[in-house]
Chains A and B, each alone.
Chain A
Amino acid sequence: MARVWVFDSNISTDDIIAGRYLPKFEATKDPSWLGSHVMENIAPNFASKVGWGDIIVAGRNFGCGSSREEAPIALKAAGVSAAVAESFARIFYRNSINRGLPVLTSKGVRKNFKSGDEIKVDMKGGVIRNVTTGKTFKVEPLPEFVLNILNAGGLLPYLKRNVGKTRR
């Protein structure tokens, strides 16, 4: 079962992965390098404690700031399987879908979760459930083409699968 990690509003992509870790990733393309430093500036223990499949629940404007696609790459590499927030900054939102990280918008979600709560996400049904408290919350539904990209694991694998088919 996925555990929740709660973050405040206005978590920036600098918070998610600091600029100093980008050059090495750009040169090596090794996502684990980013994963080992994710959230380091604001939650130094997060990278070592986050479990595979865990989910971030955050306030408003999650992922604001830089256009660095390393932010969703770092979250995924650390094991984060989705981010649920009251709102997302636009470049991070696009980058996350392109990288196959589900980003779900749910008004007022932040105050209904505590770090450590268990969570269940039904993307297709547009519902998340706080298993610990038993409460369920609606998320804004994602259009089908976005779900298809997410199911493929991102835009690149999606294109490879689908464009490849039509070409040959």
Chain B
Amino acid sequence: MTITEKIFARASGKKRVSPGEIVEAKVDAAMIHDLTGPLAIHVFQEIGAAKVWDPSKIVIIADHQVPANSVDAAENHIMLRKFASEQKIQGFYDIFEGICHQVLPEKGFALPGRLVVGADSHTTTYGALGCVSAGVGATDMAAVFATGKLWFRVPESIKIVVEKKLPRRVMAKDLILKIIGDLGAEGANYRAVEFTGKGMLNVSMDGRMTMCNMGVEMGAKNAIVPPDAATKKYLAGRAKERYRAVYSDPSAKYVETHTYDLSELGPQVACPHSVDNVKPVSEVGKVEIDQAFLGSCTNGRMEDLEAAAEILKGKKVSRRVRLIVSPASRDVYREALDAGLIRILVEAGAMVEAPCCAACMGSHIGILAPGEVCVSSSNRNFRGRQGSPESKVYLASPATVAASAIKGAITDPRDV
């Protein structure tokens, strides 16, 4: 069995499962946030259940519209607080803590071998820690809150073998963009994507989270990295419980296998308006930008801020460009402060915002006007994603975002 099949087997109390099989599985952690959570709570209440199945396994985080940017958002936050308090949810994180997909791993809820669901498509992120982790809708989440269980179709697995090391100023983001460009926006629909191979040992936990985060942009149910020493180190002092890592058997079956040599990879850009419209930065041509966004659940972590600060140190952001930075969590913010990164970014001309989803999804800050162009370290460039349907979003690595902010146009980070 693959690592994903083993986790579904364990969670559904079976010795083995096969792709295509429908199983009812016990969930080990379930997450909602302020944009999808109120609806899940509403459905939970409609079901008529009095108590959640296990308040120690639920995580509630306000991260999308924080601090509240409308009366509706403020009311949604109140609803989350009230529900968390009534149900004695231990994993409740209010508006100052950061983005769900950074906070949940930081707080030790995502553990190797476990099954996690979240009412957010980028829940695939937690697979970086060796768990199966999938996004669900509000009704499915309400069912989990009530029963702790959900049905799943065991997915076929795609194996991505990663070899060697990333060159200077090329990041895990470039790798995942390249993979999505190759496989397509539905290339992994309904499937598990397993990132493996010796090269993954050279990809940091931050980079692994970036890769798993964007698994959903090719349709994947879950993305997963086999745990190793880096996983163990990350979880030391964080893990909520003891855990047991599981690994794919040598005889595990995959529907596809693809191999990537990191040493041959260069910076990639996903051009408007689809995530699989990927080109090497050298082939994008002259694209002037109005805004650069460094942050999000994809690329707001320490490694990302370090990569940007290394490029922006002693330089100035183009006067034409607004560089918006939002660290992925309060812990990341504090660490970046201690490391002097925030000063470097601010002195270069960046606006550093509170940890939140920020400019990623066009309903909080950094909204684009018609005709404006943004280079963004986030995960989606759909038409209108960051504001006007007449605006354009190019997705790139934090290094490319920083280099582009200096030059005022999309720029190869190796050229600055």
Could you count the A-B residue pairs with CB atoms below 8 Å apart for me: how many are there?
Answer: 128
Q: Is the CB of A68 within 8 A of B42?
A: no
Answer yes or no: B402 CB below 8 A from chain A CBs: no
Question: Which single residue of chain A is at the shortest CB-CB distance from B379?
Answer: A65
B43 touching A91, Cβ below 8 Å: no
Neighbouring A residues of B384 by C-beta, 8 Å: 14-15, 18, 41
Query: Do A87 and B135 touch across chains, with their CB atoms under 8 A apart?
Result: no
Contact in complex: A90, B72 (CB < 8 Å): no
| Contact (A95, B47) CB under 8 Å given A23-B35, A27-B76 | no
B53 smallest CB distance to A (angstroms): 15
In the complex, A154 has a CB within 8 A of chain B:
yes
B190 close to chain A: CB less than 8 A: yes
Is the C-beta of A20 less than 8 angstroms from some C-beta in chain B? Answer: yes
A85 to chain B, nearest CB (A): 11
Q: Report how far A64 CA is from B65 CA in the complex, Å.
A: 22
Does chain B have a CB within 8 A of A94? yes
User: CB < 8 Å: which of B73, B135, B380 contacts A14?
Assistant: B380
Distance between Cα atoms of A69 and B40 in the complex (Å) = 9
With a cutoff of 8 Å between Cβ atoms, the chain B residues found around residue A23 in the complex are 35, 65, 70, 72-73, 76, 363
Give the residue of A20, A27, A87 whose beta carbon is less than 8 angstroms from that of B189: A87
Chain A residues positioned under 8 Å from B389 (CB to CB): 40-42
Task: List residues of chain A with CB within 8 A of the CB of B70.
Answer: 23-24
Say yes or no for B121: interface residue by CB 8 A criterion: yes
User: Which chain B residue lies CB-closest to A14?
Assistant: B382
> A94 touching B219 by the CB < 8 A rule?
no
Chain B residues near A10 (CB-CB < 8 A)? 185-186, 274
Q: Enumerate chain A residues within 8 angstroms of B137, measured Cβ to Cβ.
A: 67-69, 91, 94-95, 98
Q: Does A156 contact B (CB under 8 A)?
A: yes
* A159 and B97 alpha carbons, distance in the complex (Å): 36
Q: Is A89 an interface residue (CB 8 A)?
A: yes
The interface residues of chain A lying within 8 Å CB-to-CB of B73 are 23, 27
CB nearest neighbor in B for A21: B363
**Binary contact track B284-321/A, C-beta < 8 Å → 1, others 0:** 00000000000000000000000000000000000000
- Judging by beta carbons under 8 Å apart, are A29 and B186 in contact? no
Q: Residue A150 at the B interface, CB < 8 A?
A: no
Question: How many angstroms between the C-alpha atoms of A70 and B36 in the bound complex?
Answer: 9
User: Distance (Å) between the CB of A39 and the closest chain B CB?
Assistant: 11
B139 part of interface (Cβ distance < 8 Å): yes
Is B98 an interface position by the 8 A CB rule?
no
B115 at the interface (CB under 8 A from A): no
Task: Check if B140 sits within 8 Å of A94, measured CB to CB.
Answer: yes
Task: Count residues of chain A with CB under 8 A from any CB of chain B.
Answer: 40
Residues of chain A within 8 A of B43, CB atoms compared = 156
CB distance from B233 to the nearest CB of A (A): 31
Chain B: how many interface residues by the 8 Å CB criterion?
Answer: 48
Bound-state CA distance A38–B43 (Å) is: 22
- B385 proximity list for chain A (CB < 8 A): 14, 19
> Contacts of A61 on B, CB cut-off 8 Å?
185-186, 189, 219
List B residues 154-186 near A (Cβ within 8 Å).
185-186
Given the contacts A29-B42, A61-B189, A64-B185, A69 and B139 also touching, CB distance less than 8 Å: yes
Is the Cβ of B380 less than 8 Å from the Cβ of A91?
A: no
Contacting residue for A19 out of B35, B37, B142, CB 8 A: B35
Does B38 sit at the interface, judged by CB under 8 A? yes
- Quick one: CB contact mask for A126-168 with B, threshold 8 Å, 1 for yes? 0000000000000000000000000000111001100000000
- Check if B47 sits within 8 Å of A159, measured CB to CB: yes
Kindly list chain A residues whose C-beta atoms are within 8 Å of the C-beta of B121.
65-67, 91
Which partner residue on chain A sits nearest B123 by CB separation? A67
List CB contacts (< 8 Å) of B26-58 with chain A: 34-39, 42-43, 46-48
Residues of A within 8 A of B (CB): 10, 12, 14-15, 18-20, 22-29, 40-42, 60-61, 64-70, 87, 89-91, 94-95, 98-99, 154-156, 159-160
Q: Which 9 A-B pairs have the closest CB atoms?
A: A95-B137, A41-B384, A98-B139, A61-B186, A69-B137, A27-B72, A26-B38, A20-B363, A41-B389
Measured CB to CB, the residues of B under 8 A from A are 34-39, 42-43, 46-48, 65, 70-73, 75-76, 79, 118-121, 123, 135-140, 142-143, 185-186, 189-190, 219, 221, 274, 361-363, 380, 382-385, 389
Q: Can you pick out 18 interface pairs between chain A and chain B where the beta carbons lie within 8 Å of each other?
A: A14-B383, A14-B384, A23-B35, A26-B72, A27-B71, A41-B383, A41-B384, A61-B186, A61-B219, A66-B120, A67-B120, A68-B137, A89-B219, A90-B190, A91-B135, A94-B137, A95-B137, A156-B47
Extra pairs beyond A42-B383, A61-B186, A68-B35 (8, CB < 8 Å)? A25-B39, A26-B34, A26-B36, A28-B72, A64-B185, A67-B137, A89-B219, A156-B47
